[in-house]
Amino acid sequence: MAGRTPDTGQKKTGGYSAVAAALNRELDWPDHRTITRQHVEAWARRGTTNQARQLPPSPLREDPDAAHSMPSRIYRITEWVTWAAAGVPGPRGAKGVSTKAPTSWVVPTRAGAA
């Protein structure tokens, strides 16, 4: 199984959607929130730092000419899980209100951890 971990069969690399799926599968988010591909894309494109002040992972490769249904940026999924586990910015308040610092941090726990 190329590109998958032998023990779980989960993908090791992928685009924004695969990263979001892994973040929801491997981390428990407060208030049962769900991370979407739009969250991952925004964090990557904006260079959003996590609570540990680390930038999001860089793509392994980019293909700006990828077909519309294929990811144009491929990431190592475990790097994203580690990055997000440190805490991600929470909601920034009312739409249209610009703030530099997040108003809160969302810190997930590892799935299955008590």
Give SS3 for 37: helix
Residue 84 is predicted with a pLDDT of 96
Tell me the pLDDT tens digit for each residue of 50-82. Answer: 999 999 999 998 888 878 888 888 999 999 999
Tell me the pLDDT tens digit for each residue of 8-32. Answer: 556 799 999 999 999 999 999 987 8
Kindly report the length of the chain: 114
pLDDT above 80: residue 97: no
Give SS3 for 66: coil
Cβ–Cβ under 8 Å, residues 10 and 73: no
